[in-house]
Amino acid sequence: MYYSIRMRAAQGGAHEEGGHHISGAERIVTKDELEQLSADLVHRALHHSKGCADFIRLTIDAIDEATIHYVPALAVNNTQVCTVTEAYTIANELLTAHGITDRALQQGLQLLRSQKEAMRGALICNALTGERLDTLGNRGLRVSRMAFANESEACQHFQEQGHTGVHFQEALVLATKVLSAPQVIGEFCISDDPDYTIGYVSYGHTYHRLGPLKELGDSRGGRIFFVHPETNLTELQEYLENTTVLVTI
């Protein structure tokens, strides 16, 4: 039996009541792993670089194994440069070479920067024009119900390639699920963790880490999903929020 466990944490009350987002995470685990992971996620909410949460919500659901989709992990590329400007230039080159216009990318980034605080989910933008297509406000579209099919095996595999850390693992799983949706052409992501300056773009079958995409200490972040203009948003939201995906290597 598998369980989906999701944590979100805020400071100053619940997100819906104006609380400041502190942390969010999720896993898909077996019954035997559930108790320990619950404690680990609560600890993460209480000891985060963005502050100590005073609102923590854990949501746990059993998963029907017959409904699980298995998706191979994206290939991993990594580019480190000296400045934020250089990193943005590379991100632009990669995304515009894979079906996202420069106009769309600049418009999407402007929309992301105009948010009053870091979004809890993603902006959904037209890959040709950059127009925001969703109406989900600061909540955005929140990708959920995903994990490595075998976390220990995956961690060892990527560690041997020089890729370690929970930020990397969570981002790769999320990017893999997002790119497995046929409506999505690419993604741009900047972490809202002030101590983590690496972000990524994803396109085709590739997850490409880039850094630095912001200055150290900057808590502004977010993600943009660039989609086909004719995308059915209801179908996309149902898949990304509610369909269970296990990522294989």
Max Cα distance, the chain (Å): 49
Number of domains within the chain: 2
Residues 205, 138 within the same domain: yes
Taking 90 as the threshold, does the pLDDT of residue 10 lie above it?
Answer: no
Contact 74, 206 (CB under 8 A): yes
pLDDT tens by residue, 138-147: 889 999 999 9
pLDDT on residue 20? 78
Q: What percentage of the chain exceeds 70 in pLDDT?
A: 98
Lowest-pLDDT range, 22-26, 55-59, 165-169? 22-26
pLDDT for res 83: 97
Q: Is there a single domain that holds both residue 186 and residue 74?
A: yes
- Single residue among 66, 86, 106 that ends a domain in this structure: 66
Q: What angle do CA 159, 74, 141 make, to 5 degrees?
A: 110
Condensed to tens digits (0 to 9), the pLDDT of residues 93-114 reads 999 999 999 999 999 999 999 8
In tens, the pLDDT along 196-249 reads 999 999 999 999 999 999 999 988 889 999 999 999 999 999 999 999 999 999
Of 39, 66, 93, which one is at a domain's C-terminal end? 66
- Would you list the DSSP string of 146-183? EEESSHHHHHHHHHHTT--SHHHHHHHHHHHHHHHSTT
HSE value, Cβ hemisphere, 13 Å, CA-based, for 218:
15
| 58 shares its domain with 120 | no
- What pLDDT is attached to residue 122? 97
**Is residue 73 located within the same domain as residue 57?**
no
Based on the fold, state whether residues 160 and 184 are members of the same structural domain.
Answer: yes
Query: What domain range includes position 181?
Result: 69-248
- Among 23, 46, 66, the domain-final residue is 66
